[in-house]
Amino acid sequence: MTTRPLADAAAPMVEALAVRKSFGDNEVLKGIDLTVGHGEVVSLLGPSGSGKSTLLRCINHLETLDGGEISVNGHLVGYRRHGGKKYEMRPREVAAARRDVGMVFQRFNLFPHLTALENVMEAPVFVKGVGRAQAREQAHELLRRVGLPDKPAAYPFQLSGGQQQRVAIARALAMRPSLMLFDEPTSALDPELVGEVLDVMRGLARDGMTMIVVTHEIGFAREVCDRVVFMDGGVVVEEGDPAQVLTRPTHARTRNFLSKVL
């Protein structure tokens, strides 16, 4: 078992420098710079196709970069430096590094043949080697944390969409990540179920979890986030305090977007 070097406590939680990503001839990210501090909650806003979800996937190395670099907790994502050069990590090294980052998607992607409790236990047991008794205790606590203490024996088909998404959040938290990424976590939910998921995310913010959230929930961005980043066409158009960006945006493209969603 290899020991990873300690992160630089002074380093940002996330630092993206000149990040580029293309799919064929379509350049989705065009030199993105983004810094997120420890304990900061940042929302990514923008129209569909602006590159928000692709940026999240690059932070978790679910997509490889075509240019630039990303560091999480002081470590390069997907690469290591040696002798002044960057080398791509082996898949096992990437998987080990990814343990520090939890990601919640639009779709819940729960294992349908496992109960809520078993879904939350799965990764700690089979990835981290946690004993089953300890993993079960932790899973019960996480289900309580997301407001589902009475659902450990429920299978995904027995849960509402909002409940399934809360189990997905608990599953991501089970790996004890230092960073949580949310890719439009409420977009697949019926409107009346959105609030229960956002309440869990508010609790995580209060507890000091570093989060990057792709969302169209402007109220959540205004109330909970420390910073709003507006993206369009693969670039950061403007960013700043939510009160400033959402009520007094300086860029015409931001004003036009907000006029359609507020």
pLDDT in tens, 223-249: 999 999 999 999 999 999 999 999 999
What 3-state class would DSSP assign to 122? helix
Please, what's the b/e burial string for 73-107 (b: 16 or more CB within 10 A of its CB; e: otherwise)? bebbbbbeeeeeeeeebeeeebeebbebbbbbbbe
pLDDT in tens, 63-107: 999 999 999 998 888 888 888 788 888 888 887 777 889 999 998
Q: Which of 125, 122, 182, 129 is nearest to 156 (CA)?
A: 122
What's the token pair of residue 73?
């907790």
**Residue 45 to residue 230: CA distance in whole angstroms:** 5
pTM of the entire structure? 0.92
| Kind of pairing between the strands at 41-45 and 227-232 | parallel
Q: Which two tokens stand for residue 192?
A: 């009346």
